[in-house]
Amino acid sequence: MASGSGSGGSSDRQRIAQQRLRIIAGHLQAPIDGDTVVVAAECKAQGSKADVSGVEKTVPRRRQETMKWNGWGYSDSRFLFNKKGQAEFSGKRYRLSGMILPSLKDWFESTFGASLQHKTPATPILNSNAVQPPTLNEAFTEELKSTGIPFSHDAEDRVFRSHGHCLHEIFALREGKLGRIPDVVVWPNCHNDVVKIVELACKHNVCLIPYGGGTSVSSALECPPEESRSIVSLDTSQMNRILWIDEKNLTAHVEAGIVGQDLERLLNESGYCTGHEPDSMEFSSLGGWVATRASGMKKNIYGNIEDLVVHIKMVTPQGVIEKSCQGPRTSTGPDVHHFIMGSEGTLGVVTEVTMKIRPVPEYQKYGSVVFPNFEQGVACLREVAKRRCAPASIRLMDNEQFKFGHALKPQVSSIFTSFLDGLKKLYITKFKGFDQNRLCVATLLFEGDRERVLQHEKQVYDIAAKFGGLAAGEDNGQRGYMLTFVIAYLRDLGMDYYVIGESFETSVPWDRVLDICRNVKARIIRECKDKGVQFPPLATCRVTQTYDAGACVYFYFAFNYRGLSNPVHVYEQVEHAAREEILANGGSLSHHHGVGKLRKEWMRQTVSSVGLGMLKSVKDYLDPQNIFGNRNLL
């Protein structure tokens, strides 16, 4: 199907393009004074340069060479307790790397009732003999060989792309348990390679599952166990270049497999940025952001992914979807981009995206505010949102998360620094009367030109003061954002000592924020007790993004599972109850993590039966053979 429709669509596009070229040919002229309007890179072909910048890419084809196969992030980076019983963070990649964390052990043991004597180490090496042999579609494989597109049915390659980062997925891998995994991994190098792969999949009835950064926390990458066809993981990581930068229109056209840190680094070389920084930006891909409707920590200035996208190219079984115009806005019926964004790999593969870019900000400043309690902190964030004066990022931690963050504070290098920290604590608790068990902290990030940033900073701190907030310094703010990129490594440490945990999120109207935070945390504690968890769980939250009409709330919960025969089942029951509580309190099914297979049971009540029918009709038209058969969403 894709072959016939795709080739017809291609010839139509070529005809229209030639016609338009004839019309505008007489208007073209060289840039005035040698100005560069567009910086372009040719599409990749055999023997061509990998990219114009020469920067080494984060994601190699064999990801297992640099990343963990059964945990988060880089193989050389992890939290551990050393021989002295001190916590530290290994490797050299992060600001926290090589540092001692003197408070983490006491916090860990007192919070969870855990002991360093009770250890549950992960399976260190994948046992290839435990991997089921691939189910190959020989006709598909033979034709794929003739295209020259790289592919593999190596056990390690297949296992690496069989999962995201849900608790149950990582827990199973640590124990060496494997379910259904892809049979083949294929690495397209450009859009045209994807077109060939999809055409072959349609011809031979092969199931395709797109794979970007692999950071999903919605079971979106799990292979459906009932799928009997050969499953091919389409890994977009080698489609990782900026194809052009348009400096007049401030847009960049980018291959969708690029991960966030590479995208920002390459744009920075030309003096630009997207400003899109989700917590997973080190490893998550542009295509994944589009497919899940992602949000970044600096969305107050730069917007969410739906605000940044100008143009999308996606390959489907019916052919290629793309608009003919890259204008900033159109009135041409329902926006087809909104069928693509959030489609979670069910309709096709996003191959190229044109996005808005901005000059790298001249000045950046961190900050933090401590509030007497969470209620006053939320009231401050509401007022900041109402006045539309939010900084690039403003995030509010509850008291439990504040204590958690304090436990991650590195060992100070001097007695003087330690003395100053003590004075700050004394000032806040004794002279200002803040209760250590109720106070909470907001972290701030300002960006722009220096004068505006300083004015903006004063405005926000003035508002905070009206709600009892005290400025708590740049260091606390900067450390809060630095921890964003290492906090995901903590779950692996917990699982080494019988502690399992996870995060989940929602969006909610302002008048429900306090209720949802209180009720969901209480529900988690109650459910854990009812399910036989012997130690009180950690249940904590933070407000991470603010809007005119509401906010995004992130929940974290974890517990010591010693004494439980099936801890993952208990965890899933508790999380399910927490999600029910969120929906009952007026929260959304998801703010930015997406639905996947984990949350799709609630889709009908979330978008209505008619809404679900609309989504299914799009799926039926674009993919009647269910080639993109990951079974997410619907």
Annotated active-site positions, please? 554
Sign of the dihedral defined by the CA atoms of residues 217, 232, 237, 361, in that order: negative
Rg (CA), the chain: 25
| Cα separation, 490 vs 485, whole angstroms | 11
State the alpha helices, DSSP H only, in 299-414.
299-302, 305-308, 337-340, 374-386, 399-407
CA 360/CA 9 separation, integer angstroms: 39
Q: Which two tokens stand for residue 256?
A: 């969708």
Report the C-alpha gap between 437 and 402 in whole angstroms.
10
User: For 284, how many CA atoms within 13 A lie in the half-sphere containing its CB?
Assistant: 26
Q: 198, 137 in Cβ contact below 8 A?
A: no
Alpha carbon separation from 46 to 40, 43, 57 (Å, rounded):
18, 10, 18
Residues 6 or more apart from 66 whose CB is under 8 A from it? 60, 74, 75
The beta strands (E) that lie in 10-110 are given as 38-40, 79-81, 87-89, 100-101
The DSSP secondary-structure symbol of 279 reads T
Alpha-carbon gap, residue 205 to 627, rounded angstroms: 7
Helix (H) or strand (E) holding 254: strand 251-255
Q: Quick one: 14 exposed, middle or buried, by C-beta within 10 A (0-12, 13-18, 19+)?
A: exposed
Torsion, Cα of 579, 491, 59, 633 (10° steps): -10
Cβ–Cβ under 8 Å, residues 443 and 395? yes
CA distances from 50 to 54, 69, 240 (A): 7, 26, 9
Instruction: For tokens 């009367």, name the residue.
Output: 433
Cβ atoms within 10 A of the Cβ of 150, count?
A: 15
**What per-residue string of b and e applies to 234-264 under the rule 16 or more CB within 10 Å gives b?**
bbbbbbbbbbbbbbeeebbbbbbbbbbbbbb
What are the beta bridge partners of residue 272?
359
Reduced to 3 states (helix: H, G, I; strand: E, B; else coil), residue 271 is: coil
Residues paired with residue 211 on neighbouring β-strands, in sequence order: 235
